[in-house]
Structure 1
């Protein structure tokens, strides 16, 4: 069988190169969005209390993504830069080291969640027993078996680092199909399947993640792409401390940023809980709807990250600047489209998930307010991808933590000033707008001072 070369991100037409890498990642991200929305749509049939419970349990799944961001980002950037230098032995060492850290973190996080399950859920001060039970049943499975999600995220980053974004797309597509089939069967109980409600949603999610992992491993073993650095990694070998040190150096700021971001959201969720289960459900579902924009921008950012890292390793700085400008235009247009949809069509969208008047009204306000920030959020994520590819994860984290942290006092001020729940939504939107502007200015400054 004829071997095929991975995408060389350091040569060829920039738009074509970015498109070949970014489109499968964006499609994979959209599949992830569909994956989450499918869950919410079926769980929504159980009522707002079930949605709120899954939302609370899902907060810890989100928190875990911050932990795995360390080996994923550190592994992806270092592996991509090594590939840009054509040093494939070093790239394999970085990939293996990143996977070792991923496995350790996955087992550690699962153990903590299972041992401290009740105190973790208790943080949100849930007063409804049904919501509390739903959170516990969902969290036990999704966090207890989080290692498959961790491995999928790190492997996706490593596939992308070597210029292969098609394999993660294939894996996520099959995972989505599996999840879409299992959700109604296990949540509602169809035919011989028992009605498992929120536990069924967790079983469907974990099963789909295992399927994605199996497909990724299969692609590693059977892909004819050259170089295929993942096929020759040795997971049980010991590597020089420099590999782990460099992974931590690049990945640690991103991990801290992501986890603090989630903790800030937890505090905001606790504030939202004071407005009732319908408000929590809206925040959870609204976030999943918004992920149509967020996941797509993040997917493109991942492609730009690998593109920037490889070209930085190859010292092709003009190519980095041109790639950023092209990406900026694409993401700005995408964000404006999402803004228009959220602002002008909020009720039909919210109506897909909520069937009672109170929840529907809250969700409509959420979509309109958040809608104004979508283009800025897309630019923010894309720019973080570019700056991280240069190894500037520490600066990205500082900016993001400071501005995201401002949401808490701003939400308190606006909420107590008479805006109520809408004040919290405006705090989210306004800080996203500011972050988009600040990150754009930061890249322009970096371009003038570092990419000469």
Structure 2
């Protein structure tokens, strides 16, 4: 259901909107986490290390698609807040064109740089084959990832954060089932988990298309909506590119850390991979508040309600600080228990590396 966020108490709008978003972000993280758990428990430490050694590349491509799609759809939310339905449809058409351009660009660049990048990341020789296969399947499936993130971003920009969550939960279950089937029944190993992930993401994108087509005729775009010009493109680029850069800074930092960690062998890689997954889950409340605030701000900016924006920023900043302190306490107190989820009988070396 679409929601107008330009009227009513800001926190009473933002928190109910943020909760499905938080659950959805956790489930999106579970795509990669489920692969790591299944691979680690069914194949072994080396397979987990192979996936973990290149998982920062997966995370980088994922946050790029999330940043671009959420940035582009800020304009969509602004026009919805201003009740400019024609401009909103034109914005959706622009989002589709730009998203397709950038995902193809990212895929092309990754194909060109993947070999030197894996060398730069110090992937151990015994892990190279599985690591290369995993990351290339993910790269070739980026179109599915971008499609889901864009379509869910459009729905969120119009105030609907629940429907993308439902589809993400379904696709996460599909991912787990397919990964188990591909690895255990078909014996595909590490590539099987990557194929399962891409198919599940494509499935969630298809569900979004069907839902939008059946439930929201006001979102249907026509050929005339693709009559784009530079001002229209720039309005979206100046939102999408900074958000993509902001999201990718953390991903680049993790790649550097992973490159150093990869020098120390499979046990250290497995431990570091596990610890990073725990950290990323702990960060999700703060990330979800940020995306929720982007939607709230976009709609109220379009409606010229700047007083509501200032009030919401102040309140959400305090809540985010409280969540940060809570997450730090939980991870410190229960870190070892959470780490034990990822591996069956982890060695003391793996556990020590993850805990530190």
TM-score (ref. length: structure 1): 0.73
CA contact 2:6–2:303 (8 Å) conserved in 1:
yes
- The 1:105–1:296 alpha-carbon spacing in structure 2 relative to 1, beyond 3 Å, is same
Q: Give the corresponding residue for 1:360.
A: 351
Residue in 2 that maps onto 1:20: 16
Match of 2:277 among 275, 282, 288: 288
Find out whether 1:251 has 2:244 as its counterpart.
Answer: no
1:158 to 150, 154, 161: 154
**CA spacing shift, 1:104–1:66, aligned 2, 3 Å:** same
Equivalent residues of 2:272, 2:353 under 8 A apart:
no
Matched-pair contact (CA < 8 Å) for 1:124–1:270: yes
Partner residue of 2:76? 79
Structure 1 residues 26-425: aligned runs within 5 Å: 26-45=22-41, 46-69=43-66, 71-129=68-126, 131-187=127-183, 189=184, 193-224=185-216, 229-232=218-221, 234=223, 237-354=226-343, 355-365=346-356
* Closer/same/farther in 2, CA of residues 210 and 182 from structure 1, 3 Å limit: same
Q: Can you list the C-alpha shifts for 1:83-124, whole angstroms capped at 9, x where unaligned?
A: 221112112112211111111222232233345443232221
- The root-mean-square deviation of aligned C-alpha atoms, in Å, is 2.2
Relative to structure 1, is the Cα distance of residues 149 and 263 closer, same or farther in structure 2, using a 3 angstrom cutoff? Answer: same
3-state SS, counterpart of residue 86 of structure 1: coil
Instruction: Tell me the distance in 1 between the aligned counterparts of 2:98 and 2:78.
Output: 19
Alpha-carbon offset, residue 172 of structure 1: 0.3
Q: Any stretches of 5+ residues in structure 2 without a counterpart?
A: none
Q: Is the 1:7–1:17 Cα contact (8 Å) retained in structure 2?
A: no
Q: Pick closer, same or farther for the CA change 1:275–1:235 going to 2, 3 Å.
A: farther
- When residues 237 and 312 of structure 1 are mapped into structure 2, their CA distance, relative to the original with a 3 A threshold, is closer
1:70: Cα distance to partner? 5.8
SS in 2 for 1:352: coil
Counterpart CA distance in 1 for 2:225 and 2:270 is 43
Report how many residues are paired: 353
CA shift digits 1:382-403 (9 cap, x unpaired): xxxxxxxxxxxxxxxxxxxxxx
Give the 3 Å change call, closer, same or farther, for CA 229–64 of structure 1 in structure 2. farther
Quote how far apart the aligned CAs of 1:150 are: 1.1
Q: TM-score, normalised by structure 2?
A: 0.91
| Secondary structure of the structure 2 residue equivalent to 1:333 | helix
1:11 to partner: Cα distance = 0.1
Query: Of the two structures, which has the highest relative contact order with CA contacts closer than 8 Å and spacing of 6 or more?
Result: 2
1:393 corresponds to which residue? none
